[in-house]
């Protein structure tokens, strides 16, 4: 599980190993593969209208961005279990259920965790996101407020906060 607390990202050994393996692949054989694609596309002629070349260069840019993200994440990572938080308090690693504007029929449940831990099983919000930072540290029963992209404020009520279990 990935949990962010302050500027530290807590990773289980499994998550750390998985991210490190991805970094090693992207820094090694994936770089070689994309360089080969770029070289092959370059040999096809005019670069202005060479779709294969431009696609390979774009893929290379995305890979290099991911390498930088993983490098930074792993440099600040701590392996082990994050400091425990009492059930009922919203914190990274908790599954949170909220009601929008106090309407207990309009609810959503999500995992508050690093985007590195996002999965299809449950929606994930980063503690740095507007909603994540608005609810982080609140207790069940408390109201929280966060800023929407349009600058307006939205209110939610914390209905439940329990530790995530895979």
- 99 and 72: one domain? no
Q: In CATH, what number is assigned to the domain containing residue 112?
A: 3.10.50.30
What integer pLDDT is reported at residue 157 of this predicted model?
93
| Residue owning tokens 């993983």 | 70
Q: What are the CA-CA distances from residue 32 to residues 23, 60, 61, 69, 71 (Å)?
A: 14, 10, 14, 19, 19
Q: Are 9 and 2 in contact (CB under 8 A)?
A: yes
Give how many domains the chain has, as a whole number: 2
Report the distance separating Cα 87 and Cα 66, nearest Å: 34
User: Is 86 inside any structural domain?
Assistant: no
149-124-6 Cα angle (round to 5): 80
- 107 and 150: one domain? yes
Q: Are 96 and 135 in contact (CB under 8 A)?
A: yes
User: Is 116 inside any structural domain?
Assistant: yes
- Does the global pTM surpass 0.75? no
Q: In CATH, what number is assigned to the domain containing residue 72?
A: 1.10.287.180
Domain that holds residue 40: 2-79
Tokens standing for residue 113: 């965790």
User: Is 88 inside any structural domain?
Assistant: no
User: Is 155 inside any structural domain?
Assistant: yes
Largest CA distance in the chain: 65
User: Is 154 inside any structural domain?
Assistant: yes
User: Is 145 inside any structural domain?
Assistant: yes
- 73 and 99: one domain? no
**Domain boundary pick from 29, 51, 79:** 79
Over the chain (166 residues), the average pLDDT of each successive run of 10 is 52 78 92 91 81 89 91 79 67 88 81 70 84 92 92 92 78
Sheet harboring 2-5: ordered strands across?
A: 2-5, 8-11, 77-79
- 55 and 111: one domain? no
What integer pLDDT is reported at residue 74 of this predicted model?
85
User: Is 115 inside any structural domain?
Assistant: yes
What integer pLDDT is reported at residue 99 of this predicted model?
93
Report the distance separating Cα 17 and Cα 77, nearest Å: 12
Tokens standing for residue 162: 């329990």
What integer pLDDT is reported at residue 63 of this predicted model?
93
What integer pLDDT is reported at residue 82 of this predicted model?
54
Report the distance separating Cα 12 and Cα 165, nearest Å: 13
């Amino acid at each position: 599980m990935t949990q962010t607390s302050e500027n530290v990202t807590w990773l289980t050994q499994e998550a750390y190993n998985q991210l490190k393996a991805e970094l090693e692949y992207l820094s090694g054989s994936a770089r070689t593969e994309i360089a080969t694609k770029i070289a092959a596309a370059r040999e096809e002629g005019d670069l202005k209208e060479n779709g294969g070349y431009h696609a390979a260069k774009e893929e290379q840019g995305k890979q290099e961005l991911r390498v930088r993200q993983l490098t930074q994440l792993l440099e600040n990572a701590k392996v082990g279990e994050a400091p425990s938080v009492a059930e009922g308090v919203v914190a990274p690693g908790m599954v949170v259920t909220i009601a929008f504007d106090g309407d207990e029929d309009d609810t959503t449940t999500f995992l508050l965790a690093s985007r590195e831990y996002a999965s299809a099983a449950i929606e994930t919000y980063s503690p740095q996101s507007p909603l994540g930072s608005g609810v982080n540290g609140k207790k069940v029963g408390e109201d929280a407020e966060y800023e929407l992209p349009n600058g307006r404020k939205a209110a939610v009520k914390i209905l439940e906060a329990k530790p995530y279990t895979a």
